[in-house]
Amino acid sequence: MTRGCAVAGNDILVFADARQSWAEDSLALLLENFADPNVGAASGDLIIDSGSGCNPNDVSLYWRYEKIIRRLESGFASSVGVTGSICAVRRELFRPIPKGTVLDDVYWPLQVALLGYRVVHDRRVHAHDYLPKGQRGEFRRKLRTLSGNFQLLGRLPEAFLPWCNPVWFQLMSHKVARLVVPWALLGGLLSSAALMDHPVYRAALHAQMAFYALGVAGFAGSIRAHFRLASVAASFAMLNAAAWLAFWVWILGRASKTWQKVQYPQEIAQVRYLSRGV
């Protein structure tokens, strides 16, 4: 990616991933954002289409939440990252990405923000993707991206200093706070157990245990398909388990080595292949 950008000659660099497809007018809409000289980078929405992978409702819920955050950040000042499968940046603002960087779609947008330019999220711009096949693939994907959040601490330390980063609040609340959640959950569980002689803490312990039991049950496909709350609990547990494990992946220096090929349903790949007329 860095080598390609070094030889590019146009003023705007446009990035896409190999698997996702774009809506027909997305490129034109994406480039419209650069009419504003304060905009340094822009990206759009990733639309998760249904298929035979993970439960689409769970991912849809997560993505709705994620996209709301990005739109609010963009409207307030600037986003802290882009949708890697559909984004663009002014060539003069792009900085080389260190080898082994996991979250390149956060690293270079943060560089743009540090230079004083806005990173905007345009909800009119769409790329389409499908779900990985099964929960294991989704867990691996989240483990990799969350370990990449930890990796940023060492690769771009100035971004975590409020006097250096104009989007410091967005970065801390969006990317860093979620890394603390599993430790807070563990602390809440242990403190409730230690203080269970008190009726309030005993009730809190029972509520937590019931929720986690529901999450474990939610990993069973039959239960997941019929009970939305179990499905949501399972997804919540999976996300925070990945965040907890990502810390240890980073500590052991394996954050840049956590990529594994995620299997996507073969029949979906065939439909996409034929629909493009290849």
Domain-by-domain residue ranges, the chain? Answer: 2-133+155-167, 177-275
**Rounded Cα gap, residues 148 and 102, in angstroms:** 5
DSSP symbol at 97: P
Q: Tell me, what's the pLDDT at 277?
A: 45
Closest to 90 in 3D by CA, of 28, 34, 166: 34
Q: Tell me, what's the pLDDT at 241?
A: 93
Query: Which strands form 39-49's sheet, in the order they lie side by side?
Result: 12-16, 86-90, 39-49, 118-130, 21-22
Q: Tell me, what's the pLDDT at 271?
A: 43
Q: Tell me, what's the pLDDT at 20?
A: 87
**Rounded Cα gap, residues 47 and 126, in angstroms:** 7
Ordered per-residue pLDDT tens for the chain, 278 residues: 888 888 888 899 999 988 888 989 999 999 999 999 999 999 999 887 765 455 555 555 677 788 888 888 888 889 999 999 999 999 999 999 998 899 999 999 999 999 999 999 999 999 988 766 667 777 888 899 899 999 998 899 999 999 999 999 999 999 999 999 999 999 999 999 999 999 999 999 999 999 999 988 887 766 666 677 888 888 889 899 999 999 999 998 877 655 555 555 544 444 443 344 43
**238, 58 contact by CB (below 8 A):** no
Which residues are CB-neighbours of 181 under 8 A, at least 6 positions away? 240, 243
Q: Tell me, what's the pLDDT at 133?
A: 61
The CATH architecture one would assign to domain 2-133+155-167 is Alpha-Beta Complex (3.90)
Q: Tell me, what's the pLDDT at 278?
A: 38
Q: Tell me, what's the pLDDT at 268?
A: 46
Single pTM value for the model: 0.80
Closest to 173 in 3D by CA, of 267, 79, 58: 79
